[in-house]
Amino acid sequence: MAVYWKIKEICTFTFRMNVYSVLQIGEYHLNNCEDYLFYEPIGTDKLLCAVMDGCTMGKDSYFIATLIGKLLRKIVKAKNYEEFYQLPFLELSLEEQLKVILKELFESLKNIKNELLLEKNEMLSTLTILIANLKDEQGVILVIGDGVICINGAITEFDQDNKPDYVGYHLSENFEEWYDKQQQKIKFSGIKDISVATDGIMSFKSIEQKANLGDIDPVQYMLNDTSKIEHEEMLNMKLKFLEHNIGVKPTDDLAIIRIIKT
């Protein structure tokens, strides 16, 4: 089946998915945005998305969040070549593919940590990662640390009470044992409207003395409302609307990827 990908949308003859993203520094952060995001197709019908949140109390946390995104890009590009050569990776289940990708990510991070003599506080980032088969409308999400997901209207917040787990804590562990213990993992089917976000989505606050929220819940507005769906910059436009018309902004850094079936 012929397939082509655009920057913001994924199209085939049988289904159409729009992919939107936004990355913004928080109002309370002055120097760097410590969040990062990445999404790219894996093979013909699959998509991998990830949002990362570097620990504010860590050192140069924007670096590790960005590094994870860049390494995932490298891994995904390699997996795309495997489809061309008909290698077995793309025949695995979605969860098995996710496990393979994470194992390669951890190995790469461990090697870079050793090569650059990085300390543990330079490796602290959360990771919310999604792999989905857009044709079959199946997916799996794993959250390492804090994060927010929205699956067809149902929002789930993973909040670890300001003591989130971080990828960097586990690089020296046995990967198989670590992966088997992961509980913040969700499988889903029937992809209609799926979002992954860093916990900055929960940080909207008034930037004026009198914010006029009315009936608008910023979280629902960003993750469920479908206004401006025809615009590639839908999420950015929504942030601007909340800032200039309602008077609220995210105080923490924010990364969102949203997939909508149209």
Residue 9 — pLDDT band, cuts 50, 70, 90?
Answer: very low
Is the pLDDT at 43 greater than 90? The verdict is no
% of the chain beyond a pLDDT of 90 = 71
Question: b/e for 231-250, b at 16 or more Cβ within 10 A?
Answer: ebebbbebbeebbeebbbbb
For the residues 85-97, what does the mean pLDDT come to? 81
How far apart are the C-alpha atoms of 39 and 13, rounded to whole Å? 22
Residue 2 — pLDDT band, cuts 50, 70, 90?
Answer: very low
Is the pLDDT at 214 greater than 80? The verdict is no
pTM, to two decimals? 0.91
For the residues 74-93, what does the mean pLDDT come to? 80
Which is higher by pLDDT, 252 or 164?
252
Average pLDDT of the chain to the nearest whole number: 88
- Give the pLDDT of residue 6: 42
Residue 245 — pLDDT band, cuts 50, 70, 90?
Answer: confident
Do 255 and 201 touch, CB atoms closer than 8 A? no
What the block records as the tokens of 50 is 């990830």
How far apart are the C-alpha atoms of 68 and 120, rounded to whole Å? 15
